[in-house]
Structures are given as structure tokens and as C-alpha cells.
């Protein structure tokens, strides 16, 4: 189909289009603002995607039907996820192993750790999304709810991602836990407060991976229930490609250096109450900070130490 415009109609069309911002000759055009390399982008179905140069490196899931929010995938420098959902050999009883998650097995006597529907961490609202160049963050509010509907804890959670060199990156979790109406005791247990389920091929048993800690321990025999500043889990994510995740404990955490719960089957976590119970009083919040260093290679301990020191020097969030 051919369209012919008279001269008058062509002039009218030009004036009309000019109303939509087409600059006249000689008119100054504003420079576009810098586009952040890292952005957190809201997604359908109660999810948010951390994207580096438009490609996802992590996703936060917080839907109403979940037993607890979690992060998956956690994408390494090669573009593959370094974590997984569930135990590779026991998916039923370990269905709560949701990549990276926050939980505890004994909160005032209620189990929030397993998927037995005794307690659930319910997302309440997103407070804000933050994009600042090479750092992005999500701030959210959650409630720790028992099966009878009682709210035991109110939580504010900040998830911050910071880009590092060579497509490596740092994830920081800041947690503020408040008891609602009365004191809540976190019972003595190795299960809680943070868990990480590694990809199958990074596990010691399945893939020949390796667990190391800041004190020189190697694998489950030397790292399980030992105190450390950090624990690293690294292995092959593809043929000839080694990558890993380091779980970092912060000196301001009340039991630092934390006891770490690790297994050769591909799991690691920092245990807040391994050595005894901890009480949260109303109006006296418990603040926790954990980091996860997503990296290439089997990093030398000195390089992991340098990342831990950078993590420690990050300003506190209140």
C-alpha cells in the first residue's frame, strides 16, 4: 500500500511528531544518564533478578506460597549456577535446601528449618530497590509465623550485590530480627541461621570438590563444627572450569568466629546457636551479617582473606 501526503499534511505531521520530543535543528538535547552496570529488576510471581550488563547473576524468590524466601540461581563467572535446589540424593527429606536461604530449626520451640509446615518465613513487603553503579540491593520485611498464626519474629532483610573484578561478585545478607510481644529463644542447634546447597559437581563426594576454612581445615573431617572466619566450597562446574562460593562470617555477629556445619555432599552453613541458645528480647533486635563471595578458580587462602577483609570493612546497615 502506498501513502501519499500533501505538502500541508506533511507539515502538520511534522508538527505533530515534534510534540513527541523530536528536536528541531540546532536544539540542545540532554545527555542520557549513566546506566548502572548492575541492576535489580522486579520480575513476575514475586521474584527479583540481579542483572549484570543485562544478564542475570542471582534471583530472589519471595512468593506467598513458599516456606521461606531464597536465592537461586547463584551464577559464577562462567555463567553457570554454583548452587542447586535440593539434595542430589535425597530430594524428599531435604526439599528445604533452597540454594541459599535463611532459617532456624528452633525458634521458640518452632521448626522453621524443615518443610514440615510448622513455621514459615512469610514475605510481607518490599521496602525498596537500590541501584548504585556496581552495587544493587533489595530491602524487604518478613514475618516468622508459627502454624497457629502467631508471629514470633519480625525481620528486616537487606540483600546487597557488589560487582568485583573478572565477573566475580559479593553477596551480603543483613538481617535484623525483632521479637514481637515477648522474648524468643533460638535453641541450641547446628541448623541455622544460613544455609548453602552447592551444585552437585562442586560436592566432595559427587564431583571431587573441596571444602576449606580460614584455619587451614580441609573437607568435612577437618571443617565440620569448627570455628572459622570463612568456609569455601569449590570444584568443577564444567569440564576444566573451577569455581566456588565462600561463606563469610562477620566479626559483629554474636558468636564470631562462627561454628560451620558442612558436609562432603555439597552443603555448608554458619551455625548461630551451635554452642548454646540465644534469646531475642522485644525492642532489642538481633543483627546478623553474612557474605558470600562468588569466584573463579580454587582461590588461594590469601585471596579469600582479602575478600573477607573487604567484607568486614563495608559500612554497617541500620
Chain segment 157-176, per-residue pLDDT in tens: 999 999 999 999 999 999 99
Mean pLDDT of 99-120: 94
Distance CA 240, CA 247 (A): 23
Question: Which has more confidence, 1 or 150?
Answer: 150
How many Cα atoms within 13 Å fall on the side-chain side of residue 91? 4
Q: What confidence score (pLDDT) does residue 88 get?
A: 82
Show the domains of the chain with their CATH numbers. 38-313 (2.70.98)
Paired with 52 in beta bridges are 38, 55
pLDDT reported for residue 94: 74
Residue 224's pLDDT band (cuts 50, 70, 90): very high
**pLDDT at residue 30 tops 90:** no
Extract the C-alpha cell encoding 65. Answer: 506460597
Mean pLDDT, range 175-201, rounded to an integer: 96
pLDDT at 316 over 80: yes
Question: Is there a cis peptide before residue 12, judged by omega within 30 degrees of 0?
Answer: no
Bond from prior residue into 257 cis (ω within 30 degrees of 0): yes
203 or 26: whose pLDDT is higher? 203
What per-residue confidence (pLDDT) applies to 24? 53
Better pLDDT: 182 or 88: 182
pLDDT of 16 strictly over 70:
no
Amino acid at each position: 500500500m502506498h501513502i501519499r501526503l500533501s505538502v500541508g499534511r506533511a507539515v502538520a505531521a511534522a508538527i505533530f511528531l515534534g510534540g513527541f520530543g523530536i528536536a528541531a535543528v540546532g536544539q540542545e538535547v540532554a545527555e542520557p544518564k549513566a546506566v548502572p552496570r548492575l541492576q535489580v529488576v522486579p520480575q513476575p510471581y514475586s521474584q527479583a533478578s540481579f542483572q549484570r550488563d543485562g544478564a542475570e547473576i542471582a534471583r530472589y524468590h519471595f512468593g506467598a506460597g513458599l516456606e521461606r524466601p531464597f536465592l537461586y540461581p547463584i551464577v559464577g563467572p562462567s555463567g553457570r549456577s554454583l548452587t542447586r535446589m535440593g539434595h542430589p540424593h535425597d530430594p524428599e527429606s531435604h526439599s528445604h535446601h533452597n540454594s541459599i536461604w535463611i532459617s532456624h530449626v528452633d525458634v521458640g520451640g518452632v521448626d522453621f528449618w524443615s518443610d514440615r509446615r510448622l513455621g514459615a518465613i512469610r514475605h510481607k513487603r518490599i521496602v525498596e530497590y537500590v541501584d548504585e553503579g556496581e552495587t544493587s540491593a533489595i530491602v524487604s520485611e518478613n514475618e516468622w509465623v508459627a502454624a497457629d498464626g502467631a508471629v514470633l519474629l519480625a525481620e528486616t532483610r537487606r540483600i546487597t550485590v557488589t560487582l568485583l573484578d573478572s565477573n566475580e561478585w559479593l553477596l551480603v545478607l543483613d538481617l535484623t530480627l525483632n521479637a514481637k510481644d515477648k522474648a524468643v529463644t533460638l535453641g541450641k542447634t547446628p541448623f541455622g541461621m544460613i544455609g548453602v546447597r552447592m551444585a552437585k559437581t562442586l560436592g566432595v563426594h559427587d564431583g571431587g570438590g573441596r571444602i576449606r576454612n580460614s584455619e587451614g581445615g580441609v573437607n568435612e573431617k577437618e571443617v565440620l563444627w569448627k570455628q572459622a572466619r570463612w568456609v569455601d566450597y569449590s570444584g568443577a562446574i564444567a569440564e576444566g572450569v573451577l569455581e566456588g562460593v565462600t561463606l563469610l562470617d562477620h566479626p559483629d555477629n554474636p558468636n564470631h568466629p562462627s561454628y560451620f556445619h558442612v558436609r562432603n555432599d555439597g552443603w555448608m552453613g554458619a551455625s548461630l546457636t551451635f554452642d548454646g541458645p540465644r534469646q531475642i528480647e522485644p525492642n532489642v533486635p538481633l543483627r546478623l551479617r553474612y557474605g558470600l563471595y562468588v569466584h573463579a578458580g580454587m582461590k588461594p587462602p590469601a585471596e579469600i582473606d582479602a575478600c573477607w577483609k573487604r567484607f568486614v570493612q563495608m559500612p554497617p546497615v541500620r
